[in-house]
Amino acid sequence: MALPYRWQLRLDRLKKSVGGIFGMGGGEQQPRPKICPACGSLVGISATRCHECGTNLTFSIAALSKHLAGLTGLNAPVSTFFLGLNFFMFIVQIMFTMQAGEAGGLNLLWRMNGISSYKLGALYGPSVFLDHQWWRLITAMFLHGGLIHIGFNMLTLIQLGPTLEELYGSSRFLFVYTFTGAFGFLLSAWRGHFSLGASGALLGIIGAILAVTTKRGGAYMRALRSQLLSSLAFLFILGIWGGIGIDNWAHGGGLAAGFALGKIFADREPQGQAEKRRAQILGWLSGLVILASFVLMLLHFRDPVN
């Protein structure tokens, strides 16, 4: 059975990438000028930096986003990466839950093993403030409490993540997601909660989109703002009176942080050399914080649980 056209394109790109790595690209192809992934300027064949905006053509968020977009066929590589990382960590949680003998019946729908989730980096207020395990503000964003939990969150990420990423660019989106999720969990930790999930970061995305609707007129923006506010009101009311473990502190913190960033950032991709450089710095810092947090989680994975 023939592959769909889109998948044929992806496989062709993958073959070319692999062939280039192992020197199998063929000798008949002549080197061609490059296009800067950040500003779109045409640069020389052997150039390593763009002469217009100064972007590194191989080692930058813009270059990485372009490579990932080429392989996946998507214009939102960071959203795609977060989607994959969340599902990967959930599979790891399921394995530990099964190992603990707690995966029977319908448990996987709404409950993961608490000890393994803690070891994998779930948020716990005393551990953050007393034991200085600050990485939990980040790692907790990629853990979930069950199939229903991750299902709703990933549907929200699929619906809203690419929209904001295409508006802000991948670097800024990476920063918004990381900062708002961490800020929400900081408030939750201050309240002494045990918490996990991508909801704080997702509320950050919603907050940023809300800020955009306040800066733009028109019937569509008013309708979108009204719809988002109605959904948020229902979510917070459910968290207050529903008794189902919704972390309103993480949600509220992420929403507020996202709204503030949405007011600060321009409603477009970065323009100009200085603005693009600032966005890339924010993106790289966010990526390094995520990487360092997971490294610290692994280093402390075997620490005894008190």
- Average pLDDT over every residue of 180-197: 95
The range of the structural domain enclosing residue 176 comes to 70-299
Mean per-residue pLDDT, 83-104: 90
- Whether residue 228 lies inside any domain: the answer is yes
Domain count, the chain: 1
**For residue 41, what pLDDT band results from cuts at 50, 70 and 90?**
low
Confidence of residue 248 (pLDDT cuts 50, 70, 90): confident
Check: CB of residue 183 under 8 Å from CB of residue 133.
Answer: no
Return the active site residues.
199, 251
Overall pTM surpassing 0.85 (yes/no) = no
Average pLDDT of the residues in 270-298: 93
Assess if residue 1 is contained within a domain: no
Token duo for residue 12: 């062709």
Q: What average pLDDT does the chain have? A: 81
**272 within some domain:** yes
Give the model's pLDDT for residue 37: 61
Which residues does 245 contact at the CB level (< 8 Å), separation at least 6?
145
If 0-12 CB within 10 Å is exposed, 13-18 middle and 19+ buried, where does residue 7 land?
Answer: exposed
* Cβ 124 vs Cβ 194: under 8 Å: yes
Say if 236 falls within a structural domain. Answer: yes
Is pLDDT of 255 > 50? yes
For the record, the structure tokens of 247 come out as 């972390």
Per-residue pLDDT at 29: 46
Query: Residue 100 domain-assigned?
Result: yes
What is the mean pLDDT of the segment spanning 258-279?
Answer: 90
Q: Report pLDDT for 28.
A: 46
∠ CA 60-277-34, nearest 5°, is 50
CATH number, domain at 235?
Answer: 1.20.1540.10
